[in-house]
Structures are given as C-alpha cells and as structure tokens.
Amino acid sequence: MNAVYSVFPRLGPATRWGQEKLAHGSLKNKQFSDFPQTASLSQFFKAPDTVWTPHVLKDGSDSAGVLGALNRVYINIGLFSEEWLLHFTPLIGGKKITAIKIEDAEKNSSYWNATVAQTPDMALFFLKTAQPDLLKDAPGSKAYLTDDQEKLTRGKLAFADYCARCHSSKIPTAPPQVDESNWDQYWAWTKTDDFKQKIRAMVLDNDFLTDNYLSTERRIPVTLLQTNACSPLATNALASNIWDNFSSQTYKELPSVGKMTVHNPIDGTPWEFTLPGGGRGFTRPPSLISVWSTAPFLLNNSVGTFHWQPSVEARMASFNDAIQKLLWPEKREKDPVLGDKVPGYIYRTTATSYVKIASGYLHTGLRQLLGWGDVLQRFFPWLFREGMVRIGPIPKGTPVNLLSNLNLEADKVQLVTLVAKMIKDLKAVEGASDEEAARVFKNLVPGLLALSTCPDFVVNKGHYFGTAFFKEESALSDDDKWALIEYLKTF
C-alpha cells in the first residue's frame, strides 16, 4: 500500500507540467470548482476541458483530476459492483473489455452519487493531514541518523546531481531555449552545468525539504528507467478500456517510447521489443517522503528484502538492504536458472503446478459441459477434474508471467490453437520428471511469447542512475553513495 503524504505540495508539480486535456467520458469527472468547499482550488480546472492534476498510479494514468482519481478508487474496491461484470469476464477474459461510464454510475448508483458528494471533503482532509513520518521522530531513531554535517552535505550534492531531477517538486526555472514540457529537452537540460548549479543551491538550502513532495510526478519513459515494463504496459486506462473515463485524452494520445531489450526467460536470449503507445510505456517517479520506511524499492517491490515486523528496526533493515541493492546493482539477486544471462531474477514456479479454473469463471457453454462431469472426467481426465478445468503439469521453474501475461483477447484461432497444444503436450508428461516436463514446456514458449501482453520477465532490473550500469553519465563513488544514503534517511 502507498502512504499518502504531502498532498498540498503535490499540487505544485500539477501546475507546472500536469496540464491534461479531457474528452468524451473523462469530461464527466467532477472538479474542485464544482463544490463550494473546494472553490479555492478552482484554478486546477479551466472549462471546458483542461485540468491541472497530479499523475496518480504507477503509470500516471489517473489523469482526469484529483477528485476523479479519488472516485475511481471507490469503484475499484467494490462500489457499484453490479456494473463490474458487464464490462469483462473475470480471470479468463473472452469478451471485449469495455469502459465503466461515469454517466451510468450517476444514473444507476446511489452509492456512487453519495460518494462523489463527499469526495471533496476527503480531498480537504488529505490536504490538511497527510504529513511526512520522519525517521527523526521515530523511537530509537538516533541509532540510525548521523550528525556528520560534512557527510550530509556530500549526500545533498549527490542527490542534487543524480536524483532531484525526478524526485523533487522544487525544480529550477528552465532557460528560455528549453521547453520543459518536452521530456527530451528537460532531460538533456538536467545534465547541464546550468541545471546542476541551480539545483545544488536549492538542495543546500535549509528549506529544501519543507513542503517538497520529493517527486516531479512526470511520466518517465521506461526505456530510460530500464525497469520492468509490465506495469507501464497496463491497459486499464487506455481508450475504451475499463478506466477510460478516468484518464485524460492527453494520456490516451501518448506516443510509443520506442524499443527496449527483453530476454527469453528460458535461455536468456536478448531481443528488441517495441512498446505500444496510447498511454503505455511510462512510470511516475514515486515520492521519496519517508523513504526510510517504504522499502523494498521499485514499483514492484523487487529490490530489497522485506522484514515484516512492525518496528523501526525492521523498517530500517528493509531500507538498508534495499538502498544498497539500488545503488550497487551488482548486489541484487540473480536468476537461479539463467544467472548472468539476464540482468536480474525472474518469477518462477517453485513446484510442479496446475492451472485450475473453477466452473463459475467459465463461459456458459463450458459450464454446461461441466454438467456432464462424469463423462468428461472419464474421457478427458487431463482437462476436467473435480468440476473444473485443469491445465498441467506445469514444471517447476516455469516463468510465471509466461502464463499470467497471456493475452486472452488475442486472435481466437491463434489462442485456441496454443491452448490446445499446451493441453495435449502437458498431458503427455503427466507423472514425468521435472526435467522431461521442462523439455516439453520449452516447445510451447515461442507461442506463449507471441501472445504475451508483456514479454519482459526480469523484475528487479533498472533504475541505474548514479551507478556504473547507467552509461549516460559517470557513476557516484562509493563514498558519495554512502553519503547519499545518510541524507535519504532524513526525508
């Protein structure tokens, strides 16, 4: 779960580069100007279709205004649940996903209307109460914080040179020749002496951390981050998809960010994958407020070991492990099968497994077939077991995302052909060794990759800024990294 911190300072980046155009269903979102209690925030919307908004969610797709982002959460957790199954089939897909429309919620759900009426007060509550949890205020914090001002200053300079351009809401004014709304121009400027001198002065100022959201909230191309692409490739907020009404037209028209290198999860072979556009391919940098308490790191929590105990000691153990692996990528976990052939580890099954789909998740026709359970089990025991569909055995060590990222809205002939082959081939190795099952499963991989919604399997790669793994700039020294860590603990 993400903590909600410093909401008011978060509105600063919204006014600077959070301008979004709305169209079609997204125009139905309520804005601050629609309610008397938030009228003082009316400058964040200009009729008929322009909003200045924080970019919410990992990919910045919630982009129709603060109130729209809040209201979408309630639908996501079950409000107006009667509408959900009209737009998709759970688990197995099989029909085209369509958008949940705000106008339908307004017409048919008293729960939606009651929630929308109260959301402005929720926003005001967050604006007032969402304050940072600082390590210095935690029990026993003196054991983890340094009084060495020289080291802290060194850490501040490292932060200014390598981190602030994405992780600060306080950014210098760009020179006239730089269009800071253009990502490529902005990024190039952050590597100049002009930017570094100005941001260093800002970071060294005693008030730098005051009311600093510690994120620009900009959408960063995953091709630059080099992190796992699967979350940035999420489709929920695309045009006509489930959250269409809660993403801006600006988001929906974002171009492709280009190509990135991905790896075959069976043999590690690298290949170039072109990321689709229409909103996909970007990651919003998270706030670093209270970063001492929020490890493991990266958007999928893949960097660092989580110590679950509810204590400052456990939070710091998680932080210390994660921050070292972030700044020294060579310390990150390697894949147990491919090792150095891939730049990290891949989620794999830990035992021989089966995909079991209960009858309630199947289409009507298949559910009717299951009514012939005894007959089906007699003739197709490898597929129908105990009133459900069963696919397997899936051998130990299988990359999980080969199956979980299967595009169930792909060409139906291609999809059915692949599934039929999978069922037939896996049936043949029922009871065989893991090695024999893995050999058979390997033959299925080309077909699974062809129908994958995200063929990027390495989960703990990327975010190499300040390290030798990032080729655009020189790396921080070890002493600079340790100093940076001490400074980050003060956030």
Which residues span the domain enclosing 383? Answer: 353-450
More confident residue, 387 or 29: 29
**Cβ atoms of 213 and 6 closer than 8 Å:** yes
Domain end: 450, 465, 482, which one? 450
From 100, 129, 158, give the residue that closes a domain.
129
pLDDT at 133 > cutoff 50: yes
SS3 405: coil
Least confident of 56-65, 94-103, 253-262, 287-296: 94-103
**What average pLDDT does the chain have?**
91
The answer to whether position 346 is within a domain reads no
Q: What is d(CA 462, CA 298) in angstroms, rounded to the nearest whole number?
A: 9
pLDDT recorded at residue 387: 60
Contact assessment for residue 485 and residue 323, using Cβ atoms and an 8 Å cutoff = yes
Spatial distance between the Cα atoms of 374 and 371, rounded to a whole number of angstroms: 8
Backbone angles phi, psi at 392, to 5 degrees: 160, -175
Least-confidence region, from 2-6, 189-193, 279-283, 380-384: 380-384
* Residue-level length of the chain: 491
**Beta pairing partners, 50:** 21, 46
Would you call 29 helix, strand, or coil by DSSP? coil
Supply φ then ψ for residue 20, to 5 degrees.
-135, 145
Burial label, 134 (beta-carbon count in 10 A; 0-12, 13-18, 19+): middle
What is the rounded average pLDDT of the residues 129-153?
A: 96
Instruction: With respect to residue 48, please indicate whether it lies within any of the assigned structural domains.
Output: yes
Q: What is the pLDDT of residues 384-415, one digit of tens each?
A: 555 667 788 899 999 999 999 988 778 878 88
Q: What secondary structure letter does DSSP report for 482?
A: H
Amino acid identity at 11 = L
Task: Flag whether pLDDT at 368 surpasses 70.
Answer: no
Q: Mean pLDDT across the stretch 136-155?
A: 97
Q: Which of 275, 230, 268, 450 is nearest to 345 (CA)?
A: 268
Q: Kindly report, residue by residue over 324-335, the tens digit of the pLDDT.
A: 999 999 999 999
Cβ atoms of 454 and 405 within 8 Å: the answer is yes
Is 208 among the domain residues? no
What DSSP designation does 476 have? P
List, for residues 422-437, the tens digit of each pLDDT value: 888 888 888 888 888 8
pLDDT band at 370 (very low <50, low <70, confident <90, very high): very low
**Domain tally, the chain:** 2
- What would the DSSP string read from start to end of 282-348? EEPPPP-TTGGGS-SBTTTT-BS----SSSHHHHHHHHHHHHHHHHSGGGSPPBTTTBTTSSS-B-B
Report whether pLDDT(49) > 80. yes
Can you tell me the mean pLDDT for 376-391? 59
Q: Would residue 372 count as lying in a domain?
A: yes
What whole-number distance in Å separates Cα of residue 238 and Cα of residue 257? 16
Average pLDDT over residues 165-192: 96
Decide if 219 is inside a domain. Answer: no
Last residue of a domain, one of 111, 129, 147: 129
Task: Supply the pLDDT for residue 363.
Answer: 56
- Residue 197 in any domain: the answer is no
Give the burial string for 18-38 (b: 16+ CB within 10 Å, else e). bbbebeebbbbbbbbbebeeb
Predicted confidence (pLDDT) at residue 372 exceeds the cutoff of 60: no
> Are the CB atoms for 387 and 373 separated by under 8 Å?
yes
244 domain-assigned: no
Report if residue 326 sits inside a domain: no
